[in-house]
């Protein structure tokens, strides 16, 4: 067991957890932040993407103890004062989601893309999202949503 201190969605968190707790399990089970999803067991699907100190990572592939002291943002922390983030708004407007399961990871990943590149081309968007699998949308409207968000941010 290890005590960790970090900030999750702007709130300080102190918890004692087994050393081998994955960040995804820590978020889902210890903190009940179930918006972060787990869709595979090989770090491929990207449904678990969260931000650690502003950078997107797959939370199924990090130990919670390794992000000690970090600032974590999950899909639950993206909206501010009840207003959805422009990326969330764009996904809604462009119908960038269907079943919603890959959506949190997709949105968190896309937000990080726009942090790195203000106006990505279609190819850059598609290449960036290569690590997030969606089975519903064929990615078409996800790409459109990211473009839409880029025009608004």
Residues making contact with other proteins (CB under 8 A): 28-29, 32-42, 44-45, 47, 74-76, 78-79, 84, 88, 91-93, 95, 97-104, 107, 122-123, 125-127, 129-130, 132-143
Least distance between other proteins and beta carbon 108 (Å): 10
Q: Which residues neighbour 81 within 8 Å (Cβ) at sequence distance 6 or greater?
A: none
Least distance between other proteins and beta carbon 11 (Å): 15
Least distance between other proteins and beta carbon 102 (Å): 5
- Using the structure block, give the residue that is written with the tokens 């960790």: 4
Taking the least distance from each CB to other proteins, the nearer of 68 and 99 is 99
Least distance between other proteins and beta carbon 65 (Å): 16
Taking the least distance from each CB to other proteins, the nearer of 33 and 67 is 33
Taking the least distance from each CB to other proteins, the nearer of 26 and 69 is 26
Q: Which residues neighbour 6 within 8 Å (Cβ) at sequence distance 6 or greater?
A: 12, 13, 67, 68, 69, 70, 71, 72
Q: Give 1-8 contacts, CB < 8 A, sequence gap 24+.
A: 2/65, 4/64, 4/65, 4/68, 5/68, 5/69, 6/67, 6/68, 6/69, 6/70, 6/71, 6/72, 7/70, 7/71, 7/72, 8/33, 8/72, 8/73, 8/74, 8/77
Least distance between other proteins and beta carbon 122 (Å): 7
Taking the least distance from each CB to other proteins, the nearer of 16 and 69 is 16
Taking the least distance from each CB to other proteins, the nearer of 26 and 91 is 91
């Amino acid at each position: 067991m290890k005590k960790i201190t970090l900030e999750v969605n702007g709130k300080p968190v102190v918890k004692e957890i087994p050393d081998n707790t994955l960040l995804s399990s820590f978020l889902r089970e210890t903190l009940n932040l179930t918006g972060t999803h787990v869709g595979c067991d090989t770090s491929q699907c990207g449904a678990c993407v969260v931000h650690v100190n502003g950078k997107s990572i797959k939370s199924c592939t990090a130990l919670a103890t390794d992000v000690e002291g970090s600032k974590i943002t999950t899909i639950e922390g993206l909206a501010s004062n009840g207003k959805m983030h422009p990326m969330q708004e764009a996904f809604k407007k462009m119908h960038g989601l269907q079943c919603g399961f890959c959506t949190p990871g997709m949105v968190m990943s896309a937000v990080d893309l726009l942090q790195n590149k203000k106006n990505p081309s279609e190819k850059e968007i598609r290449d960036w999202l290569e690590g997030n699998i969606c089975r519903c949308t064929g990615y078409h409207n996800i790409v459109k949503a990211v473009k839409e968000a880029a025009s608004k941010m």
